[in-house]
Amino acid sequence: MPSRTRPSPRRRGLALSEPTVPVRARALPVPARAPEQTGDASIQPAGPSAVAATLADQRARRPAATTPAAGHGRGERRLRPTRPPRPPAPGRQAGLPTPSTPNQARRPAQRQPEAPVLAPRATSAAGLHCLTDHEQNARLYAYDSSVRQAFDVIVPVLKEIASHRCEPDFVERAQRIARKRLGVEPPTHLLDDAWVTGLDMRRLFAWTVFETYRRFSDDFFQQDPLGGRDGSAFQAFLQECGFHALDITPCADGRLAHAISYVLRLPYGTVRRRSYAGALFDIEDTVEKWIETELLRFREGRPNPADAPTRYLKAVVYHYSSLDPGHRGCAAHGSDDAAAARAGWERLKALRQAIENSFCCGASVDLLLIGMDTDTDAIRVHVPDRDGYCDLEHWLEATKVHQITSGLTPTEARARIAELIRAHAPGRAASSGSRAAASAAPSDGMVQLIARLIEHNLAQIDYVRQYHGGHYQDTDHAERFIGTGFGFEEIQLRNLTYFAYLDTVEEGAADLDVGIRIFTGLNIVHGLPVPVIVRYDYHSRVPGARERAVAHCERIAAALKARYPKLCADGLLHCLRVVRDCDNQAQIEIVGSSLDPAVVGH
**How large is the average pLDDT for residues 233-255?**
95
Which tens digit of pLDDT belongs to each residue from 94-149? 343 443 333 333 333 333 333 343 444 444 456 899 999 999 999 999 999 999 99
- Distance, CA of 394 to CA of 440 (rounded, Å): 14
Same domain, 220 and 245: no
Task: Give the CATH number of the domain where residue 408 resides.
Answer: 3.40.1050
- The three-point CA angle 551-553-554 to 5° equals 65
Amino acid at 20: T
65 and 127 Cβ atoms separated by less than 8 Å: no
Which tens digit of pLDDT belongs to each residue from 306-320? 999 999 999 999 999
Collapsing DSSP to helix, strand or coil, 303 comes out as coil
273 and 331 Cβ atoms separated by less than 8 Å: no
Same domain, 191 and 207: yes
Same domain, 394 and 280: yes
- Write phi, then psi, for 590 (nearest 5 degrees): -80, 125
- Name the catalytic one among 219, 247, 253, 581: 253
The pLDDT value given to residue 246: 97
Collapsing DSSP to helix, strand or coil, 569 comes out as helix
Same domain, 330 and 182: no
The model's confidence at residue 439, banded by pLDDT at 50, 70 and 90, is: low
Assess if residue 44 is contained within a domain: no
Higher-confidence residue: 85 or 568? 568
* DSSP string over 138-201: HHHHHHHHHHHHHHHTHHHHHHHHHTTTTSTTHHHHHHHHHHHHTS----GGGTTTHHHH---H
- Distance, CA of 381 to CA of 379 (rounded, Å): 7
382 and 369 Cβ atoms separated by less than 8 Å: yes
Assess if residue 587 is contained within a domain: yes
Same domain, 251 and 322: yes
Same domain, 424 and 488: no
For residue 44, pLDDT beyond 50: no
Higher-confidence residue: 97 or 540? 540
**How large is the average pLDDT for residues 536-545?**
94
370 and 316 Cβ atoms separated by less than 8 Å: yes
Within 10 angstroms of residue 288's Cβ, the number of other Cβ atoms is 11
The model's confidence at residue 57, banded by pLDDT at 50, 70 and 90, is: low
The model's confidence at residue 373, banded by pLDDT at 50, 70 and 90, is: very high
For residue 276, pLDDT beyond 70: yes
Which tens digit of pLDDT belongs to each residue from 456-498? 999 999 999 999 999 998 878 889 999 998 889 999 999 999 9
End-to-end alpha carbon distance in the chain: 90
The answer for residues whose C-beta is within 8 angstroms of residue 448's C-beta and 6 or more apart is: 240, 241, 418
Assess if residue 388 is contained within a domain: yes
For residue 300, pLDDT beyond 70: yes
The model's confidence at residue 299, banded by pLDDT at 50, 70 and 90, is: very high
Same domain, 439 and 462: yes
344 and 392 Cβ atoms separated by less than 8 Å: no
* 253 in catalytic set: yes
Assess if residue 83 is contained within a domain: no
Over the chain, what is the mean pLDDT?
82
Same domain, 442 and 415: yes
β 573-581/481-486 pair status:
unpaired
For residue 430, pLDDT beyond 70: no
Strand (E) or helix (H) holding 405: helix 398-405
**How large is the average pLDDT for residues 565-573?**
96
Same domain, 208 and 318: no
**How large is the average pLDDT for residues 164-189?**
92
Task: Identify the weakest region by mean pLDDT among 61-75, 166-180, 358-372, 483-497.
Answer: 61-75
The pLDDT value given to residue 428: 55
Assess if residue 400 is contained within a domain: yes
The answer for residues whose C-beta is within 8 angstroms of residue 592's C-beta and 6 or more apart is: 553, 554, 557, 576, 577
Would the CA dihedral through 221, 222, 225, 231 be positive or negative?
positive
Amino acid at 179: R
**How large is the average pLDDT for residues 418-447?**
75
Task: Identify the weakest region by mean pLDDT among 58-67, 239-248, 413-422, 580-589.
Answer: 58-67
Domain range enclosing 255: 232-468
For residue 46, pLDDT beyond 70: no
Q: Kindly state the greatest CA–CA separation across the chain.
A: 109
For helices 134-152 and 444-468, the axis angle rounded to 10 degrees is 60
42 and 290 Cβ atoms separated by less than 8 Å: no
For residue 579, pLDDT beyond 90: yes
**How large is the average pLDDT for residues 171-179?**
94
Q: Write down which residue in 468, 485, 503 finishes a domain.
A: 468
Preceding peptide of 68 cis, ω within 30°: no
CA dihedral 185, 189, 191, 197 (to 10 degrees): -160
Within 10 angstroms of residue 378's Cβ, the number of other Cβ atoms is 25
β 243-250/311-320 pair status:
parallel
- Write phi, then psi, for 370 (nearest 5 degrees): -130, 135
- Distance, CA of 568 to CA of 574 (rounded, Å): 7
β 379-382/365-373 pair status:
antiparallel
- The three-point CA angle 267-270-275 to 5° equals 85
For residue 283, pLDDT beyond 80: yes
200 and 187 Cβ atoms separated by less than 8 Å: no
The pLDDT value given to residue 168: 87
* DSSP string over 20-36: PPPPPPPP-PPPSS--S
Q: Write down which residue in 450, 468, 486 finishes a domain.
A: 468
Task: Give the CATH number of the domain where residue 173 resides.
Answer: 3.30.1330.140
Q: Write down which residue in 434, 451, 468 finishes a domain.
A: 468
The answer for residues whose C-beta is within 8 angstroms of residue 560's C-beta and 6 or more apart is: 505, 512, 532, 534, 568, 573, 575
C-alpha 139 chain-centroid distance: 15
The model's confidence at residue 438, banded by pLDDT at 50, 70 and 90, is: low
Same domain, 566 and 522: yes
Print burial letters for 470-490: b (CB count within 10 Å at least 16), e (below 16): bbbebbebbbbbbbbbbbbbb
Same domain, 353 and 433: yes
The model's confidence at residue 510, banded by pLDDT at 50, 70 and 90, is: confident
389 and 43 Cβ atoms separated by less than 8 Å: no
Would the CA dihedral through 558, 560, 564, 570 be positive or negative?
negative
The answer for residues whose C-beta is within 8 angstroms of residue 168's C-beta and 6 or more apart is: none
Same domain, 315 and 448: yes
Report the number of distinct structural domains present in the chain: 2
The pLDDT value given to residue 474: 84
Assess if residue 327 is contained within a domain: yes
CA dihedral 268, 272, 275, 278 (to 10 degrees): -120
The model's confidence at residue 197, banded by pLDDT at 50, 70 and 90, is: confident
- Distance, CA of 479 to CA of 85 (rounded, Å): 37
What length is written for the chain?
Answer: 602
Assess if residue 212 is contained within a domain: yes
